[in-house]
Amino acid sequence: MIGCKEAVRHLWEYLDETVGDADREALEEHLSRCRRCCAELEFAEEMRRFLSESSREEIPPDVMARLDETLEGLGER
Amino acid sequence: MRLVPEPSIERAGDKPRQSFERLARAELARLYAIARRLAGDEAEDAVQECLVKAFERFDQLDDLDAGPAWLARILVNCCHDRGRARSGRPREIAFEEVDDFSLYRKIALEDPYPYSDSLHLDFLGGFGREDVREVLLRLPDLYRIPLVLVYMYGFPTKEAARILDAPLGTVLARLHRGRKLFERQMWDYAEETGLLEEGATR
């Protein structure tokens, strides 16, 4: 059996599916009896969504024009 | 049944330059977005440098399917070199205080929006894309780069390990600490920039 401190340490690895079998089983056992860690797991999922949604970025037109020039000029030097 | 073939980067009869340009154009938006998060205002220069270097070494790329990760690797090195060249050092971070930090618990404990029913979501909702970028730029490269590659741009951890030329276990450990640092810096940033007060009055 593990406590909250240990459980919280593995939440993201659990979501990433990089946690080992023994740790996963211990974590799932802990989550089955701890509402606070379940809520923290939900927050970890929100954080992952938040990071992924923060990734979008438009290339400004002036930057795009210069990158175009670079690509078109490759091999001509 | 697929009637239209998948667009391929490599086409019969392509010259290397055309192949490269097709690969680069397909990846350009992602490369620029990654560079904005790793090199900040030097993103454009980092991408330019990446394109030139990658084209020079294009004959070393055996498998075009590996092209996106190969380009990302070159870009990461360009961004990292720029970070090293900059005179400013990242702010000092006390790691021992960070490893057990939980943003979830911190928000619950400090209760910045007493009238909210969705405290944690409100906290995240206060951050715009620029705020996230600012927070990321506070992290040392060692932790910021894997965080950006894996959680923002969806590179699998094994691929991130190849891009960073580091063992998988090392990358997983950096991701763990990077997440904690990011959470800690989100809280500090929200306090310093008044995001908490803004949220409380919404």
Q: Which fold has domain B95-201?
A: Arc Repressor Mutant, subunit A (1.10.10)
Give Cβ neighbours of residue B122 (< 8 Å, ≥ 6 apart).
Answer: B113, B116, B199, B202
**Whole-structure pTM over 0.90, yes or no?**
no
Helices (H), B57-166: 67-85, 95-98, 103-110, 119-125, 129-137, 141-147, 157-164
For chain B, which residues make up each domain, given as ranges? Answer: 16-85, 95-201
Of B142, B140, B124, the closest CA to residue B195 belongs to B124
For residue B201, pLDDT over 70 is answered with: no
Our CA-based measurement puts residue A63 at a distance from the nearest CA of chain B, in whole angstroms, of 7
Same CATH topology for B16-85 and B95-201: the answer is no
CB pairs under 8 A between A and B: 83
Asked if residue B87 has pLDDT above 50, the reply is no
pLDDT digits (tens, 9 = 90+) for B39-71: 989 999 999 999 999 999 999 998 988 999 999
Please determine, for the modelled complex, whether the ipTM score is greater than 0.90. no
Whether residues B32 and A57 touch (CB distance < 8 A) is answered with yes
Other CB atoms within a 10 A radius of the CB of residue B168 amount to 13
Which amino acid is present at B196?
L
Nearest-angstrom CA–CA distance, A59 and B58: 24
Q: Whole-angstrom Cα distance, residue A37 to residue B42?
A: 40
CA distance A66 to B135: 28
Q: Which residue of A has its CA nearest to B33?
A: A57
Q: Which of A67, A69, A72, A76 to mutate to probe the B interface, most B CBs <10 Å?
A: A67
Residue of A10, A14, A54, A66 to mutate when probing chain B, most B C-beta within 10 A? A54
Residues of A in Cβ contact (< 8 Å) with B152: 51-52, 54-55
The sign of the torsion formed by the CA atoms of B172, B177, B183, B186 equals negative
Work out the burial of residue B119: count CB atoms within 10 Å of its CB; fewer than 13 is exposed, 13-18 middle, 19 or more buried: middle
Of chain B, the percentage scoring pLDDT greater than 70 comes to 84
In angstroms, the separation between the Cα of residue B157 and the nearest Cα of chain A is: 9
Chain B: closest CA distance from residue A12 (Å): 8
Among A57, A62, A63, most B C-beta atoms within 10 A, so best to mutate, is A57
Planar angle of CA B169, B174, B180, nearest 5 degrees: 135
- How far from chain centre, in Å, is Cα B78? 14
pLDDT band at B3 (very low <50, low <70, confident <90, very high): very low
We find that the CATH architecture of domain B16-85 is Orthogonal Bundle (1.10)
* Cα–Cα distance, B142 to B150 (Å, whole number): 13
Contact A67 B104 (CB under 8 A): no
